[in-house]
Structure formats: structure tokens, C-alpha cells
Amino acid sequence: MKVSASLDGKQANDNGQSQWITNKEVKQDVYKLRHRHDAVLTGRRTVELDDPQYTTRIQDGKNPIKVILSKSGNIHFNQQIYQDESTPIWIYTENPNLTTNQNTY
């Protein structure tokens, strides 16, 4: 598992904006981890605020399945993570009415 936080335990600045708090070498390690593992787990709010891709960015690398947790199921499918059709996205929610016009896997 890879988790990052600043010394004060935060993952965003005081304005709530996400910012990289690691260096270039750590980023490369993250891309390798994504290539070697089956899935990346994240929350709906992180997807909304950070608009991540969760790709390997390694030549011929294997992108992980994207697993998104959302208690409410209130998901807007306009972030870039939902535009990548190369790997499945699994959404876990308590909302039985979540629907999407995206491909299902």
C-alpha cells in the first residue's frame, strides 16, 4: 500500500487544493507499483478533487483496475479517470440506484 501525507498529516494545502508532496523518484515508484498490482483503491471525493488518472505511465505498462468507494453513489462521470476505457472501473456504493451510461465490466 502506498499512502502519502505531509508532516502535519494533510494531503492538500489549506485551500483544499491537492498538490504533489513527493519527488520525481517517488512518482516513478508509484508508476511501477501500479504496473505490478491489480488495482488502485480511492474514494469518490479524491476523484472529484484531484482528477487522477491512476495509469502506470510506463512504456508497455499494465494499468490497474480502478476501484472507487462512494457511500452515496453521487458520482459525476466527467473526470478523466472515467474517460480511460483501457481498464475496468469498479464502483462500490450503498446506493442501489447508481446508474451509468459507461461500459460495464
* Cα–Cα distance list, 13 to 8, 59, 95 (Å): 11, 32, 31
Three-state SS at 30: helix
Question: pLDDT of 5-53, one tens digit each?
Answer: 666 666 666 676 666 667 888 888 989 999 999 999 999 999 998 899 9
Q: Are 72 and 93 a contacting pair, CB within 8 Å? A: yes
Q: Which residue has the higher pLDDT, 7 or 63?
A: 63
